[in-house]
Structure 1
Amino acid sequence: MLGELERVLSLSSASLADDCAVHIVADNSTKRAANHHRHSTKAITFHNEEAGDVVSWLTRSTAATGGKCIIASAYTVYNVLTATRPDVIRTLARSDWPFALPRFQCRPVIFYQDSKLIMNFGRAALMGSEAHPRPRNLPSLSARQIEALDAIEAIARATQLEIQTQAGDMHFINNLAILHRREGFANGQAPTEKRHLVRMRLRSAEKGWPIPRELETEWDAAFRKHGVKHWHVEPMPSYFFPMRNQPN
C-alpha cells in the first residue's frame, strides 16, 4: 500500500518534506511520547500542518473504537464569521499571533493571497501542549485571541465532515483551505484494531498556491531540495518525532 502511495505521488510533480513518510501510531511507552499529538490517543482540535500545500494519509489499520479523521472548510468558517462576527476576522488577520513552533514568530492566522483565503494555525504552536510546554518568556494569547480560536473550533465542528476510513484508503486534503482534527480513540488487541496512518506533506511547484511571505520560511525548510530524506516504511525509532524547544 505504501508503494502505491509513492507511485501516486511520483505522478503529481509534488515535493516531499524531509520526513517523507511519518507514521501516526499510539505510543504510551513514556509520558513524553504519549502526550505527543502524533503518538497520543487523545482527541486533537482543528488545525493545519505547519507547512505543506497538501496533507495526505494512508490508512493501514483503524482503532477498535474512535480515531476518525475529521475535516472542515476554512472558507466556511470564514464566511460564517464574516456574517456573524467580523470582529473575529479582524483579530485573525492581525500580525500579533505569537506562534512558537517550530520557531517563534508573530504572524496572522488568516491571509488573503492572490485572491485566495489561506488559514494556517495550530493550538499547540500558540498555547503549548503537554509534549511542547510553552516557554514562560514568550507572550501568551490575549482573551480576544482565545475567543477567536474557540470561534473557529465551534464553527468547524458545526460544519465538519467525518471521514469513514478502512485499511488501504488514501486521502489528500488542501492544507491551506481545509482544517483537520482527530477524535480520541482506543486500540484493540489485534493488529487490525490498532490505529496506524502513514502521513505525508506535499508541495507542488507547478500547481501549489503562492505562499504568504510569513509562511515561506517554514515551507522552504520543509521542502528544500537538498538534505536527507527519511523514508520509514515501518514506524520510526523511539523519539524520532521532533521535540522542538525554543531558545531561552
Structure 2
Amino acid sequence: MQQTVWRQPITTPHAWRRADLLDHDRWKRRITAAEQREVIAALRHAQAANVPMLHWQTDDFPLDTLRGTLDEIASEVRDGAGLVLLQGLDIAGLTDEEVCMIYWGLGVYLGEPLGQNPKGDLLGHVFDQGREYGKIDVRGYETSAYLPYHTDRAELLGLMCLRQGLAGGLSSYVSAAQIYNIILAEHPEYLGLLYNGFYYIRREEALSGNGVSAQPLPVFGHQDGVVRCRYIRNQINAGADKRGIPLTPLEREALDYLDSLTQRDDLRLDFMMAPGEIAFCNNLTTLHSRTSFVNGPEHQQQRHMLRLWLRFANPWPISALFGEDGNYVLHGRTVVSTATT
C-alpha cells in the first residue's frame, strides 16, 4: 500500500524557523514561586499516599494552579510550534527519586505514558553507560556521543535535565515540517523516496535473528492533510547494511539533503538545559539532537537526563503506513508490540 505525496506547503505553526521562536516567548514557560510550592506539596502528598508512581492519576499529584500552565504546554506542543521549554523548577535539595516523581507527576497531566523499550520502562534515563557509539546493538542515548537529528517513538517527547555534564551536551531542535516545505520547494523529486521509506534496524534483535523491519517505514507521511515525520538516519543505514542491500545513490542524496537542512543555522534552535528544566516537543513534527558531552569526576558533573514518551490526549491522525511505533507498555499493562526499530 502506498499513499500519494502531499504536495502542499505546511502552513501551521509547526513549520517554524529559528527566528520565529526567538521573536516570541510562547515556546518558554517559567514556574512561579507559588507553582513551585504547589509542586513540592504535590510531591509530599504523593509520598504520604504511597500509591505506586506508575499508577498515578492527576488526583495523586494535585496541581490546582500549575494545571493551567500544563494545559497550555500540551496545546502548544500539539497544535502550536511543537516545542516548549519549562524553566524555573528548583530541584536543589531533592533526591533523584523525588525529581523522578515530580517529572512523572507533571507528565500525567500531559498525556498517556508509553513504554520506551521491550522491558516496558516508562521513565527513561539518558546518560553515558560507557557503551560504544556506532555498534549495531547500542542506542545513542547510552553513550556520550553526538546524536544526529532524529525522532523518537512517541507523540509527545519530554526531556528533563537532572544534571549537566562538565562540558557539552547542547540540546537542539529543528522543525521537520519546515524541512518538508523546503524539500517540496527545492527538491520535490525527493519526496516520493521519503514517502516510500526505508528499512530500519531493530536494535533489540540486531545480533540475533533478522533484526530488520518487516517493511519500509516512511520518513514523511500524511493523514487527513496532516504531515508527520519519522527519521533515524543511523538506523536506516544499519538496516541497509544488515539486509546487504545498499541505499541507491538517489536515496543517499535525498537523505543527505535532509540531513544538511537540519544543520542550517537559520532553521535549528540550540540551547543548554539547566538542572530542573524540561523540554517538551511534538515528536511527529520536530527533530531533536544533542552535541557530544564530557563528564567530570564528581557525581554532579555527570550528565543525566530523564525521558518521557507520551501519547497526546487528543489523538493525532497518523497514516497506517508508519505501523506500530513501539509502544510496549501503557500504564503498566503489557501490550503486544509489533515494534520495528
| TM-score bin (small chain) | 0.7 to 0.9
* In structure 1, distance between residues paired with 2:132 and 2:273: 28
* In structure 2, distance between residues paired with 1:184 and 1:174: 23
The runs of 5 or more residues in structure 1 that have no matched partner are 229-243
* In structure 1, distance between residues paired with 2:331 and 2:291: 32
> Do the aligned residues in 2 keep the contact of 1:53 with 1:208 (CA within 8 Å)?
no
Give the structure 2 partner of residue 21 of structure 1. 123
Q: TM-score, normalised by structure 2?
A: 0.59
Give the structure 2 partner of residue 150 of structure 1. 256
> Do the aligned residues in 2 keep the contact of 1:47 with 1:181 (CA within 8 Å)?
yes
The runs of 5 or more residues in structure 2 that have no matched partner are 1-98, 204-211
Give the structure 1 partner of residue 105 of structure 2. 7
User: Equivalent residues in 2 for 1:175-214 (5 A)?
Assistant: 175-204=283-312, 206-214=313-321
Give the structure 2 partner of residue 231 of structure 1. none
> Do the aligned residues in 2 keep the contact of 1:34 with 1:40 (CA within 8 Å)?
no
> Do the aligned residues in 2 keep the contact of 1:48 with 1:121 (CA within 8 Å)?
yes
More relative contact order, 1 or 2 (CA 8 Å, 6+ apart):
1
Shift of 1:245: 11
Which piece of structure 1 moves more, 147-156 or 8-17? 8-17
Shift of 1:217: 2.0
Q: TM-score, normalised by structure 1?
A: 0.80
Alignment partner of 1:57: what SS?
strand
Check if 1:85 corresponds to 2:183.
no
* In structure 2, distance between residues paired with 1:34 and 1:219: 17
Structure-2 change in CA distance of 1:192 and 1:33 (3 Å): farther
Letter of the 1:162 partner, please give it.
D
Q: Kindly indicate which of the two structures has a greater share of residues assigned to strand.
A: 1
Structure-2 change in CA distance of 1:161 and 1:29 (3 Å): closer
Alignment partner of 1:76: what SS?
helix
Structure-2 change in CA distance of 1:118 and 1:186 (3 Å): same
* In structure 2, distance between residues paired with 1:188 and 1:34: 26
> Do the aligned residues in 1 keep the contact of 2:200 with 2:340 (CA within 8 Å)?
no
Give the structure 2 partner of residue 38 of structure 1. 141
Which piece of structure 1 moves more, 58-67 or 31-40? 31-40
User: Equivalent residues in 2 for 1:35-114 (5 A)?
Assistant: 36-49=139-152, 51-95=153-197, 97-101=198-202, 103-104=212-213, 105-114=215-224
Q: Kindly indicate which of the two structures has a greater share of residues assigned to helix.
A: 2
Structure-2 change in CA distance of 1:222 and 1:180 (3 Å): farther
Structure-2 change in CA distance of 1:223 and 1:146 (3 Å): farther
Give the structure 2 partner of residue 237 of structure 1. none
Q: What's the C-alpha RMSD, in Å, of the aligned pairs? A: 2.8
Which piece of structure 1 moves more, 173-182 or 140-149? 140-149
* In structure 2, distance between residues paired with 1:245 and 1:94: 16
Letter of the 1:185 partner, please give it.
F
Alignment partner of 1:19: what SS?
coil
C-alpha deviations, 1:123-155, integer Å up to 9, x for none? 232112xxx9942x3533222111112111111
Shift of 1:216: 3.4
* In structure 2, distance between residues paired with 1:160 and 1:13: 26
